[in-house]
């Protein structure tokens, strides 16, 4: 294992996230370096922006930092009214290699990651991602334990009990629309673990005549995403991807007209399609086909290989012109 003197440094910031409608708040959090120094993860913010989405960031310390080797964190899960915490060894060599390798961004240039995102889910689940301007990738997953934190520790100026304080946050910090979707009695424990399952597939954009894929952005339910040029060779190779949540892409047809599309998958349908298609562990890799019609006005969707095909019917598809 490399020592801190040998470990490369990169420009990155810590951040944190939580699923929508399942708010969390970090009480204390630090990413520890091999030399014993650390950088804090922004705390005191109510997190519910979405699984894997970038959260609060603070500009602190040196621009260039080594890769952390350990995560120490304590947070509250508001709907559960529980604190979780623990100390976890990070896969620092893997993280370092990913920073070094980087990725090809949507401008066709090599780029690398700029954030380390700590995801907090109900039940004490932790996921760690690297976020860049074109790629998000999971690097670790942990289980935290329940811990005790007093109201004096958590909110020193509060005159309420812990239970009263939590109730006040849930009542006052969210809109009525959001509160209507937060149900402490129906927390979907295990959903975010389910999201982590990956399958061997690739996107395949098919044109009625001729066309050129300009760029594509795929977001996945496990918090990962990929945003790159259509010419990136990674798109022609089967990869281990989670189930897609949304796909956006732009293309040019044979007449040099430019179009774009946003595809929003129905969660129940797309999850069932992938899990049904790949229920046989020996299933061959698949293509998620996006077949554009003659008039650039409709897209047919299916998950398929040379032996099986499942059509996708419930996705919302929006198409628009992007030509100047």
DSSP 254-285: TTS-EEEEEEE--HHHHHHHHHHHT-STTPPP
Please report the pLDDT score of residue 185 as a whole number: 95
Give the integer Cα–Cα distance in Å for 45 and 55. 9
Please report the pLDDT score of residue 290 as a whole number: 98
Which helix (H) or strand (E) segment holds residue 100: the answer is helix 92-101
What separation in angstroms does the CA of 142 have from each of 82, 84, 128?
Answer: 17, 12, 9
Q: Can you state the percent helix, strand and coil of the chain, rounding each to 5?
A: 15, 45, 40
Tokens of 150: 């007093």
Please report the pLDDT score of residue 106 as a whole number: 86
Which helix (H) or strand (E) segment holds residue 192: the answer is helix 191-195
Please report the pLDDT score of residue 58 as a whole number: 82
Q: CA nearest 241: which of 279, 276, 287?
A: 287
Neighbour-count burial for 118-131, b at 16+ CB within 10 Å, e otherwise? bbbbbbbbbbbbbb
- Give the pTM: 0.94
Show Cβ contacts of residue 153 under 8 Å, excluding neighbours closer than 6 positions. 27
Q: CA nearest 238: which of 191, 208, 199?
A: 199
Please report the pLDDT score of residue 3 as a whole number: 47
Give the integer Cα–Cα distance in Å for 205 and 288. 8
Neighbours of 168 (CB within 10 A): 12
Q: What are the per-10-residue average pLDDT scores of the chain (324 residues)?
A: 62 96 97 95 94 86 90 98 98 97 91 97 98 96 98 92 95 94 95 98 94 97 97 96 98 94 98 97 96 95 97 98 78
Please report the pLDDT score of residue 189 as a whole number: 96
Q: Report the sign of the C-alpha dihedral through residues 277, 194, 247, 101, in that order.
A: negative
Show Cβ contacts of residue 118 under 8 Å, excluding neighbours closer than 6 positions. 14, 15, 16, 17, 29, 41, 71, 73, 126, 127, 128
């Amino acid at each position: 294992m490399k020592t801190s003197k040998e470990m490369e440094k990169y420009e990155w910031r810590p951040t944190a996230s939580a699923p929508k409608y399942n708010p969390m708040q970090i009480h204390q959090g630090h990413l520890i370096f091999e030399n014993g120094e650390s950088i804090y993860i922004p705390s005191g913010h109510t997190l519910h922006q979405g699984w894997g989405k970038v959260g609060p960031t603070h500009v602190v310390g040196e621009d260039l930092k080594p890769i952390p080797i350990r995560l120490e964190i304590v947070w509250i899960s508001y709907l559960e009214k529980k604190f979780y915490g623990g100390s976890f060894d990070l896969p620092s060599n893997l993280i370092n290699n990913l920073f070094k390798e980087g990725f090809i961004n949507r401008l066709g240039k090599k780029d690398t990651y700029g954030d380390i995102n700590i995801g907090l889910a109900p039940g004490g689940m932790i996921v760690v991602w690297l976020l860049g301007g074109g790629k998000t990738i999971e690097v670790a997953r942990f289980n935290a334990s329940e811990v005790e934190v007093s109201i004096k520790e958590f909110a020193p100026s509060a005159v309420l009990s812990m239970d009263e304080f939590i109730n006040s946050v849930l009542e006052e910090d969210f809109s009525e629309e959001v509160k209507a979707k937060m149900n402490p009695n129906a927390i979907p424990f295990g959903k975010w673990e389910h999201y982590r399952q990956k399958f061997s597939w690739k996107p395949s954009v098919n044109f009625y005549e001729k066309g050129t894929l300009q760029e594509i952005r795929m977001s996945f339910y496990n918090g990962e995403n990929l945003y790159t040029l259509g010419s990136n060779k990674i798109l022609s190779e089967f990869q281990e991807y989670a189930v897609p949540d949304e796909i956006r892409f732009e293309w040019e047809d044979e007449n040099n007209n430019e179009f774009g599309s946003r595809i929003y998958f129905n969660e129940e349908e797309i999850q069932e399609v992938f899990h049904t298609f790949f229920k046989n562990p020996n299933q061959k890799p698949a293509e998620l086909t996006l077949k554009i019609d003659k008039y650039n006005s409709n897209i047919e969707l299916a998950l398929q290989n040379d032996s099986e095909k499942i059509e996708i019917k419930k996705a919302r598809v929006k198409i628009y012109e992007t030509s100047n």
